[in-house]
Structure 1
Amino acid sequence: MSSYMTAAEAAEALGISRATLYAYVSRGLLSSTPATVGRHNHYAAADVRRLARRKADGKRAGKVAQKVLDWGVPVLESSITLIADGKLFYRGHDAIDLARHASLEEVAALLWECAPRRILEAPPAPITGAQWSAWLKIWGEHTPLERALVLLPAAAAQMPRLWAQGRDAQIDTGAMLMRLLAAALISTAPSSEPLHRQLAHAWGLRSRAHADLLRAALVLCADHELNASTFTVRCITSTGTHLFGAAAGGLAALSGPRHGGETMRVAAFFDEAARASDLHRYLADRLAPDERGVPAPLSGFGHPLYPNGDPRARLLLDQLAQRAPARSTMSEIDALAQAVAETTGARPTVDFALAAIERVLELPRGAAFTLFAAGRVTGWIAHALEQTADGRLIRPRARYVGEPGGAL
């Protein structure tokens, strides 16, 4: 695909006449460059496509105020992640393909636009082992989320280059943040070992196949465009704060039961379904409409961005079925997914798959959330770097619907 368009191609892509195209150039909406051959100008294809997307969004602007923050039109431009036609891409690379072979560290390098060795060779955090051990001794009995929310700010206070804005300094800080968050989540010492191996060791998984499943899960959790936690991270970053502060805000947003905390609700759903003597009757009761006639939602099923099913869940559940121990709850997981599909047509989301991994491999309670958070921080860092480069404060306006000004 050419990186430039002719005037005719640009006008067609934008749905305008050539006269309007030239007017766009004169108004600074688009730039043109003399072609190397001939007397005509040409236009950067990326700029034309960006303007075309803005025009398409503008046609829906009448309802933007109501829909923009509820699965609506885009509110920020980003070159990190694309979700389209039921597929997920990280900087143009199919995330499902990456999950088959890449490590989280390799995906982090892709998202952060640096060489993989930059992450591997990043210096350790300036925190002594004795200091970290003392912190874990105090907070070791708390939940992974609670530990992370306490230890990340504590670690940030020890970072001499925390506020540095240089690219190398930010990459180093990002690598430290990845390692420290993982260490806080699994209550262990920070390490530069690949994260999926750290998790496998902490959770007592000796099988390489099981560690590989964790690797795939981490990769598929790395980023998902402007979800609630990532948008929170970008908002915080736009104020000028550092990566650790933005990540702490992202963790708080991720923990909500309608986001990363959904894995906890799926785990509870598994427990209830396992106790039911009749699975289909249980689902019928669970789905009974409330007083408004609205059916109750089922945790872990149906994603608005994937009407034909979440591809992340599909891959992870397939791999889990291949790697499940001989005596496991995999058959229960399959039966539940099948029963829901027959009853509602809804398909599992990545939350369902993460909770299934936790249950089938008998991981510690909350391991699904740990996988989500440990993977997602790589995307948060990428978005923070992109937002820092943009340099603008994110400050949307509200549509006021209260009493008019001057009302008593």
Structure 2
Amino acid sequence: MISGLDDVIAAETMLSDVDGLNGRLIIAGHSLDALAGHTSYEAMLALLLGDFLEADVATITRHLAAARKEVHGYIEGVDAAILALSPIEGLRAMIARLPDGEDRDTAYRLLAAPAVFTPALLRLQQGLPVVAPSDTLGHAADMLAMLTGTAPTQAQVNALDTYLVTVSDHGLNASTFAARVVASTRAGVTSAILAALSALKGPLHGGAPGPVLDMLDAIGTPDRAEPWLAAELARGERLMGFGHRIYRVRDPRADALKNALRQLAEAGAVPADRLALAEAVERSALALLRQKKPDRALETNVEFYTALLLEALGLPREAFTCVFAAGRVGGWIGHAREQIDHGRLIRPQSKYIGPLAA
């Protein structure tokens, strides 16, 4: 039996390639190193979806801004029941209200939705007025402005753009596969994104970055890092932010986000003691993991610096998965379109191991 479908090829894609042995990520023909910190999310969408959207970066930027305005109208329908939900569940409920379809308008609405709904839900849950989207700001800048109600700095915009680009696609992970399965039924791309979002919500997938901050808070100071982490390993606990199902070496996304975090720190947006604590924890964790688990490749993964970056941007940890979705939705739509255009109904076989009928 192949547990978890490891090594099973279930689709052919032009969108991304994850080289776990060499720690390399290719997105739309470009290495992550060439993209993260060097391109905007709109430019990333042009690479992932340009053929389907039949648009260049400038056109995508304009249409995406219009889509943010459109989906903002759905905020009027937010009620107490939705506000009582967690941010990711509230986001899912709001996206479920969007029209389903397979056309470009559907795609733009879905690309805009997490960036608009996430700040709106967070502000409403805090009793703050909702901030309307802008006609002139880029996607990352507008998301930050809608979150805080103030114009973000260029360093903050660059950091969020780097994050959205870094997580935009990552092979056939659980949420992306869920999107392709639903898209293969021709249920519509909105339905496919809802399936992907539900998979992302799980703590074994996109729901994991927040606990990294819980770990840092519990450690407190750099001198406590080694004894605290050693005690966790002795109890058989997992160290959050380390190890990955695919990567046998360091996750390249961790380096991309660490660089973005350092640039934020240089701009004064990250407390020096917080960065020093994170680096001390990383050093101690990697040393302990190599000592205690020498037979396993447990390196820093994307979750570790995701948590620190999003915290520095003023996002609460319970909303981290929503921001992950704001980046990954581009890849989800790309995979859904590939499945619709070139695939067939996904229907794997199962092996019955139960009792036979008498």
Q: Shared fold (TM-score greater than 0.5)?
A: yes
Q: Is 1:288 matched up with 2:234?
A: yes
Aligned to 2:338: 386
SS at match of 2:18: strand
Q: Which amino acid aligns with 1:279?
A: A
Q: Is the 8 A contact 2:175 2:200 kept in 1?
A: yes
Q: Is the 8 A contact 1:122 1:172 kept in 2?
A: no
SS at match of 2:63: coil
SS at match of 2:234: coil
Q: Which amino acid aligns with 2:61?
A: L
Distance in 1 (CA, whole Å) between partners of 2:95 and 2:315 is 24
| CA drift at 1:121 | 4.2
Q: Is the 8 A contact 1:310 1:348 kept in 2?
A: yes
Q: Is 1:358 matched up with 2:318?
A: no
Give the RMSD, CA atoms, in angstroms: 2.6
Judging changes above 3 Å, is the alpha-carbon distance between structure 1 residues 144 and 303 closer, same or farther for their aligned structure 2 residues?
A: same
Distance in 2 (CA, whole Å) between partners of 1:260 and 1:220 is 14
The answer to which of 79-88 and 141-150 deviates more is 141-150
Q: Which amino acid aligns with 1:79?
A: M
The answer to which structure has the higher helix fraction is 2
| CA drift at 1:388 | 0.2
Match of residue 35, structure 2, among 98, 101, 115: 98
Paired residue total? 326
SS at match of 1:186: helix
Q: Is 1:135 matched up with 2:87?
A: no
What per-residue deviation string (whole Å, max 9, x for no partner) do you get for residues 358-403 of structure 1?
3344433334323311000000000000000124111111122222
Q: TM-score, normalised by structure 2?
A: 0.83
Q: Is the 8 A contact 1:179 1:190 kept in 2?
A: no
The answer to which of 138-147 and 308-317 deviates more is 138-147
Q: Is 1:88 matched up with 2:25?
A: yes
Judging changes above 3 Å, is the alpha-carbon distance between structure 1 residues 277 and 243 closer, same or farther for their aligned structure 2 residues?
A: same
Judging changes above 3 Å, is the alpha-carbon distance between structure 1 residues 154 and 78 closer, same or farther for their aligned structure 2 residues?
A: same
Distance in 2 (CA, whole Å) between partners of 1:190 and 1:227 is 31
Aligned to 1:402: 354
Q: Is 1:153 matched up with 2:93?
A: no
| CA drift at 1:135 | 2.2
Judging changes above 3 Å, is the alpha-carbon distance between structure 1 residues 129 and 111 closer, same or farther for their aligned structure 2 residues?
A: closer
Match of residue 202, structure 2, among 234, 238, 256: 256
Larger radius of gyration: 1
Q: Is the 8 A contact 1:312 1:349 kept in 2?
A: yes
Q: Is 1:330 matched up with 2:282?
A: no
Q: Which amino acid aligns with 1:376?
A: R
| CA drift at 1:262 | 0.7
The alignment-based identity, stated in percent, is 31
Aligned to 2:12: 77
Q: Which amino acid aligns with 1:148?
A: L
Judging changes above 3 Å, is the alpha-carbon distance between structure 1 residues 136 and 189 closer, same or farther for their aligned structure 2 residues?
A: farther
| CA drift at 1:185 | 1.4
Q: Which amino acid aligns with 1:334?
A: E
Q: Which amino acid aligns with 1:374?
A: A
Distance in 1 (CA, whole Å) between partners of 2:210 and 2:97 is 27
Q: Is the 8 A contact 1:144 1:186 kept in 2?
A: no
SS at match of 1:240: coil
Aligned to 1:10: none
Distance in 2 (CA, whole Å) between partners of 1:120 and 1:78 is 25
Aligned to 1:57: none
Q: Is 1:229 matched up with 2:181?
A: no
The residue correspondences of 1:137-216 to structure 2 (distance < 5 A) are: 138=80, 139-140=82-83, 142-156=85-99, 162-163=100-101, 165=102, 170-187=103-120, 188-189=131-132, 193-201=137-145, 202-203=147-148, 206-216=152-162
Unaligned runs of at least 5 residues, structure 2:
121-130, 291-297
Aligned to 2:253: 312
Q: Which amino acid aligns with 2:48?
A: L
Aligned to 2:293: none
Unaligned runs of at least 5 residues, structure 1:
1-64, 157-161, 290-294
Q: Which amino acid aligns with 2:76?
A: A
SS at match of 2:307: helix
The answer to which of 120-129 and 176-185 deviates more is 120-129
| CA drift at 1:141 | 6.1
SS at match of 2:187: coil
Q: TM-score, normalised by structure 1?
A: 0.73
The residue correspondences of 1:7-22 to structure 2 (distance < 5 A) are: none
| CA drift at 1:126 | 11
Judging changes above 3 Å, is the alpha-carbon distance between structure 1 residues 130 and 367 closer, same or farther for their aligned structure 2 residues?
A: closer
